[in-house]
Amino acid sequence: MALLRAIESAGRPGDRLFVDPLARRFLPSSLRMVARLAALPLAGAALTRWIDRRWPGARSSGVARTRLIDELLARALAGGVRQVVILGAGFDCRAYRVPGTEHARVYEVDHPTTQQVKHERLARVLGTLPAHVRFVGVDLDHDDLARALERAGWDPALPSFFVCEGVTNYLDAASVDALVRLVGHAAPSSTIAFTYVDRALLDGAREYAGQDAIMATVVRAGEPWTFGLAPGELRSYLAERGLELVEDLGAAEYRERYFGAAARAMRGYEFYRAAVARVPGAPSNSSAPGHVQAG
């Protein structure tokens, strides 16, 4: 995703969906050169065409859902939310580029090894690590997520905005269950924006355009997708875990939101979905239920 965000950020101001000035800094040197080429009109157009042929829908889906979640986060911050939890943060840079995050406490949750790399890159680029960000080293498949967050200062009695982009498809069912239940036990009006893949892709019940190239790529990378949800069952799945579904969009839908009529010609990645859910009720000062074991 860092490469796709870097390429999008190199586009013309009137055309790009967002600007992530740090994305390029997390790329290896070979891919940084690719990102630089994206800023050249002819080379950039050729590059995006090649990516779209090689991995149908991956780029357009990736940048459209990035814009979607950016907007949701900005709206939550404007509405007064002061706790943001980015689950499986990786090289996500929303804490450093979305206006309003500097006035909130942002908890970046990821594996300690990944976080160490991010620490080093951020320190090199920014000089010092921003005071509003706290890094929470957690293995989402094994560690107690709630306890780790609370040790870092997260207050379950205050509304939070959770981001869980590109994470659930790499976990097992028990870990996703624990993660969702944690959010469901957060303060009323807390919200989560998350992505997931259609379970039909993983169990072979449905075929999607371009799926073979995508699945082969994640397997070669040593990160096969392991979990999916059935869109028709999402509302009840969330309700059982204390959340109400607000919106559930397939790639074709969220691409159309940002690419307009051009989205009709975009194909691929229709199995990848973005959803929003919230904890029912108005905010209160009551504490959430106890710890939830992730994994």
Which of 184, 282, 200 has its CA nearest to residue 241? 184
Same-domain status, 34 and 87: no
Q: Say whether both 236 and 118 belong to one domain.
A: yes
Using the predicted structure, report yes or no on whether residue 287 has a pLDDT greater than 70: no
User: Based on the domain organization, do 264 and 180 belong to the same domain?
Assistant: yes
For 166: left if phi > 0, alpha if psi spans -120 to 50, otherwise beta; the answer is left
The per-residue pLDDT for 40 is 82
Tell me what the mean pLDDT of segment 160-173 comes to. Answer: 95
Structure-token pair, residue 108? 């970046």
Between helix 58-78 and helix 2-9 the angle, nearest 10°, is 80
User: Which one-letter amino acid corresponds to residue 176?
Assistant: V
What pLDDT was estimated at residue 295? 31
Rounded to whole angstroms, the Cα distance separating 65 from 163 reads 12
3-state helix, strand, coil in the chain (%, to 5): 45, 15, 40
d(CA 83, CA 159): 7
User: Stretch 37-56: mean pLDDT, rounded?
Assistant: 84
d(CA 113, CA 176) in angstroms, rounded, equals: 21
Is the residue at 294 inside a domain?
no
Q: Which residues contact 64 (CB under 8 A, 6 or more apart)?
A: 17, 251, 254, 255, 257, 258, 259
DSSP 203-265: HTSS--TTHHHHHHHHHHTT------B-GGGHHHHHHTTT-EEEEEEEHHHHHHHHHGGGGGG
Structural domain range at position 34: 1-53
Residue 294 — very low, low, confident or very high, per pLDDT cuts 50/70/90?
Answer: very low
Contacts 24+ apart (CB under 8 A), 24-30: 25/121, 25/124, 25/125, 26/2, 26/91, 26/118, 26/121, 27/2, 27/3
Kindly provide the residue ranges of all beta strands, DSSP E only, lying in 80-190, ordered along the sequence.
83-87, 105-110, 133-137, 161-164
Same domain, 193 and 263: yes
At 109 the pLDDT is 96
Q: Is residue 209 part of a domain?
A: yes
**Is residue 26 located within the same domain as residue 76?**
no
pLDDT tens by residue, 50-95: 888 888 888 999 999 999 999 999 999 999 999 999 999 988 999 9
Same domain, 164 and 223: yes
Instruction: Please tell me whether residues 121 and 149 are part of one structural domain.
Output: yes
Q: Which residue has the tokens 């919230």?
A: 278
pLDDT digits over 219-256, tens only? Answer: 888 888 999 999 999 999 999 999 999 999 999 999 99
The yes-or-no verdict on residue 108 having pLDDT over 80 is: yes
Band of residue 283 on the pLDDT scale cut at 50, 70, 90: low
25 lies in the same domain as 154: no
Asked whether residue 138 is domain-assigned, the answer is: yes
**Which of 146-155, 192-201, 234-243, 262-271 bottoms out in mean pLDDT, i.e. has the lowest?**
262-271
Give pLDDT tens digits for 167-218: 999 999 999 999 999 999 999 999 999 999 999 999 988 888 888 888 888 8
